[in-house]
Structure 1
Amino acid sequence: MAPPIACDLTQTCYIQQGVDHDPGPGVQDFSCGTLSYDGHKGTDFALPSLAMQAEGVDVLASAPGTVRGVRNDMADILQGTPGAPDVSDRECGNGLVVSHGDGWETQYCHMKQGSVVVQPGQTVAMGQVLGQVGLSGQTQFPHVHLSVRHDGAVIDPFAPDTLTTCGTTPARALWNDSVPFPPGGLIGAGFSDAVPAFDAIKDGTAGRDTLPKAAPGLVLWGFAYGARSGDTLTLTIRGPKGEVFADTQTLDRTQAQLFRAGGRRTPSGGWPAGDYTGTVELRRDGTTLDVQTTQVVLN
């Protein structure tokens, strides 16, 4: 099988959550990490911003099969926002189920309203477009949720032979090719003239390519996922005359998503004109998990 989303999982999208392997109230993904939540029965392939979702990203069939059960009329509204509808018993939102024979099936959830382009009874090929990533159902970020089941039982495509243990190297996976499942990482990074609102970062509107030399400040921010208590996030800004700012922040709790920001107020007379580079590094137990760089031009 193949990932159900038309993006690069190492560059333009990422896996936010996997199947929960803890049989009790705790949370463990197949590697004994924290990229899941209690009772999660699928894998969430996420987009970095609402702006990318609005542009349109295709949902793809993970394996060949026959479509059964389609829903296509629910509104794209993030849960927790004003006007969000009650989605009880419709948590999947818009989506569909594909039957693959011999008791195997996949389910695709949270698709964009009106985007589903297949019908019940239709045969689909692996990689065929089914619709687009949306915000329908029980969702708080843009993603497609993929569930894999065999004879009704939940299957983790990263570790299909066990669901109640974790930490051992899976003997096999269901993916045709290697699919990355990092233990956390960076979703994005950018510059602004003040600490941005988290909603602006998630919207994809917080970053600036250019700023005036007399802007109120020069702030670098990093947007991370899967962070754990004790991880560190280092923010560094370098300009035409060398280092402007450097700060390492130790994270005090485990969070599915978070952002940190830091920078300097504008000096008297403004910043020197030119290119400024920001580097954001997420580390765990002395090992770098992810690094992103970003640039802004001051003029």
Structure 2
Amino acid sequence: MALFKRLAFELLESRRLLAKDLEIIAIDFTNAVGELTGTTPTVGEKVYVRVHWQTTDLTAADSYKIRWEMDGVETEPFDYVGSPGVDVDNYWYHGGWIAQAGASHSLTVTVDSGGSVVEANESNNAITLSPFTPLPATSLPAKFGTPIAGAQNVDWVLGGYVDVNPKFYADDQVKFFKDYQGNTTTTRDSHNGLDYAIANFAAQDAGVQVLAAAAGTVIEINDGEFDRETQLTFSNPGNYVFIDHGNGWVTQYWHLQRDSIAVAVNDVVVAGQVLGLVGSSGNSAGPHLHFEIQHNKTPVDPFAAPGDFFVSPPPYVIDPVLPNNLLDFGVTNDIYDGTHTFLGPSFAQVQEQVSDIGTFPTSGEEVYAWAVFTSVEAGDTWRALLYRPNGTLVNDYSSVMFTQPTDFQDDGDTDAFDFLAWQRGFGTTSGAQKADGDANYSGGVDEVDLAHWELQFGQTAINGWEWGWYRPGYTESTPGTWRVDFLYNNVKVGEQSFEVGAALPEIRVFDDTHSIYLIDDRATPIDFGAVVQGQTGPTTTFKVENHGYGSLTISGVSLPTGFSVVESLDATIAAGASDTFTVRLDSAVLGSKAGQVVVSSNDASESTFAFAIEGVVNPSSPAASSELQGVAVEYALRFAPAVSARSDEQQFIDEDASAVLPLVDQETLDALALDRVDASPNVESRLTSQAVRQQSILQHEASREIDFADDWGVAKPLL
């Protein structure tokens, strides 16, 4: 009997192995946050679908892949671990293809696409949607205007587009991203909007308006975040405005300047109304506006049907109708670091704005002409022509060509990532060029010197924003007004004059504590952080450099109330020298401290060099209930601008205590006289920040094409 039972068990086990099966039940359209839509995607939308499949008799050891394919364009197959048991239902959504105007799309999903599970029935593993044609954008209430003030290729460049490739950036750095024209240097993986970039942070400080692209209602804002980011960091919160235009159409305006947002939730705005100013807050590497269109919580590429979406469609970044132009340019001198291992303006200085020299001595000093270009295309050239005061040409370092960069990554190609490294480097040499000076101070004129006279820019295809510098130099001592003409593709696009005949000072300022190059009238405050009342406040050291040719005389340093100088600046700084001064946040008086540091000197062009600073003094012995109130105040100040027109906007969740805490009202905030509060670490850790919520949802979603979504169900981009 025992033998019979064992044989019967083995037979049943064999039947179970043969009964393994994966069967696709259905496939349905969703939006970008996984909600079923029940409708065909609209033209320009990113296409997402949810697949429903059933598994029978799989074990935890059974893993298989799911393949997604539309019109022959496949995304990476996802690995999926089998759920043990009989008749287990599974759901997963994914997407990222663009619904093209007039196209008939075919979409297929296959489970166990690699055949790793031996099934009783292999014929039910795939499902194909009936061919579908995207709906026209007739539900759009009004076409969109330009969301930024100024003119294209004059005040800004449209250099970033929606990534239309559904694949993700792979570990082997194979490029699975491209814009609607097929170029890879004008987008990046999973980029869902349009990037309008301005010249530099000086332009940001001057103020470039962000405009409502169409009439609608403001449904969400966030303000108060740092606005001078220079690195792409997903966790950085940004300042933004969202507008609901009706019929499921929403526009998003990202990276705005702190404290610049001019609208509130529930405001009804008109097309062209000012929403705020361009900044670099959040996941941003430089000042620009990320403008994103969404329909039913799904990103839209408006260039799938530009005439349907724009009042006046903007030309592509290298369209011949656009002028080749310079967003900014000037003349400066050598950056001497003691070894002359680096010459010319650094990328960090160009990104802020180069400190120009207006007057040179008659001793034949080095002159650097620098510029920020628009609409760079392989083969484009620019020239810097140096003219004497009598109008005769001194130097014409002609035809600097935008060419392929070096393969910095050693990955066998030259691409956008090499390009990013290249634009911070020097360039290649050219034997055809002649140098008049010993640029590297080696005692002779050689190929290394030539590297400082000719720049070749990394460029596989195109880029909206690029920079470079020449050293035209001069060896004559003719006094008077000299001129540099800038030519782009042999067309003059700018000129810069400078004087020769006097040895004058030129101020340049650095934040030594944070390793930041500062520019005059910097609007973004240097943050000193927080100090408890009565304790020693934090300090920041600033370096004042004289990169001119005469003595820099300091006549005074003024500070805002709440700060003091603990190390003074020398009264005189010789040419080529520098000195430092240190500022402390005073802790005697509670509250926020903010204002401008002003350094007064005999610099003719910047006699008062100013930049903003800020800090906070917190109470030393809070009342018994202050921690709860502190959380509410901190949340209100940091996150209250990020409110939505929803019923529960007057409360938030304290993650650790699982308690609902009320938001303090404005009257209470005014009574406390706190403009900004730095919470203690234990309070900070208890806040359920948007970044944490969004990252959690990002990790939860099966599709990495979804950048993240907040608890109001609005898809947010990686910007």
State the TM-score, normalizing by the size of structure 1.
0.81
Distance (whole Å) between structure 2 residues aligned to residue 225 and residue 6 of structure 1: 17
Which residue in the other structure is 1:49 paired with? Answer: 200
By percentage of residues, which structure has more helix?
Answer: 2
Distance (whole Å) between structure 1 residues aligned to residue 386 and residue 260 of structure 2: 44
Contact 2:386 2:472 in 1 (8 A): no
Alpha-carbon deviation of 1:191? Answer: 1.9
Which residue in the other structure is 1:164 paired with? Answer: none
Distance 1:13 1:291, change over 3 A: farther
Bigger radius of gyration among the two: 2
Distance 1:156 1:212, change over 3 A: farther
Which residue in the other structure is 1:281 paired with? Answer: 488
Distance (whole Å) between structure 2 residues aligned to residue 77 and residue 120 of structure 1: 25
Alpha-carbon deviation of 1:123? Answer: 0.8
By percentage of residues, which structure has more strand?
Answer: 1
Which residue in the other structure is 2:493 paired with? Answer: 292
Distance (whole Å) between structure 2 residues aligned to residue 23 and residue 232 of structure 1: 31
Alpha-carbon deviation of 1:61? Answer: 0.5
Contact 2:180 2:304 in 1 (8 A): no
Contact 2:382 2:488 in 1 (8 A): yes
Contact 1:221 1:235 in 2 (8 A): no
Which residue in the other structure is 2:229 paired with? Answer: 78
Distance 1:35 1:141, change over 3 A: same
Distance 1:207 1:176, change over 3 A: farther
Which residue in the other structure is 1:165 paired with? Answer: none
Contact 1:220 1:235 in 2 (8 A): no
Q: How does 1:1-299 map to 2 (within 5 A)?
A: 1-24=144-167, 25-33=175-183, 34-80=185-231, 88=235, 93-157=238-302, 159-161=303-305, 172-183=307-318, 186-194=326-334, 195-214=344-363, 216-224=365-373, 227=376, 230-239=378-387, 240-250=391-401, 251-253=403-405, 254=416, 255=419, 257-267=465-475, 269-271=476-478, 273-281=480-488, 292-299=493-500
Question: Cα RMSD (Å) of the superposition?
Answer: 2.7
Contact 1:222 1:280 in 2 (8 A): no
Distance (whole Å) between structure 2 residues aligned to residue 189 and residue 27 of structure 1: 32
Contact 1:57 1:132 in 2 (8 A): yes
Distance 1:237 1:39, change over 3 A: same
Identity fraction in percent: 24
Distance 1:6 1:258, change over 3 A: closer
Alpha-carbon deviation of 1:183? Answer: 2.3
Alpha-carbon deviation of 1:227? Answer: 4.1
Alpha-carbon deviation of 1:178? Answer: 4.1
Aligned pairs, how many? 275
Alpha-carbon deviation of 1:60? Answer: 0.9
Distance 1:246 1:116, change over 3 A: same
Distance 1:212 1:173, change over 3 A: farther
Contact 1:233 1:248 in 2 (8 A): yes
Distance 1:245 1:62, change over 3 A: same
Unaligned runs of 5+ residues in structure 1 are 162-169, 283-287
* 1:176 alignment partner AA: V
Contact 2:159 2:317 in 1 (8 A): no
Unaligned runs of 5+ residues in structure 2 are 1-143, 168-174, 335-343, 406-415, 420-462, 501-719
Distance (whole Å) between structure 1 residues aligned to residue 394 and residue 177 of structure 2: 41
Contact 2:481 2:498 in 1 (8 A): yes
Alpha-carbon deviation of 1:73? Answer: 1.9
Distance (whole Å) between structure 1 residues aligned to residue 362 and residue 311 of structure 2: 51
Alpha-carbon deviation of 1:72? Answer: 0.8
* 2:283 alignment partner AA: Q
- Relative contact order higher in (CA < 8 Å, ≥ 6 apart): 1
* 2:150 alignment partner AA: C
* 1:32 alignment partner AA: G
State the TM-score, normalizing by the size of structure 2.
0.36
Alpha-carbon deviation of 1:187? Answer: 3.4
Alpha-carbon deviation of 1:106? Answer: 0.2
* 1:179 alignment partner AA: P
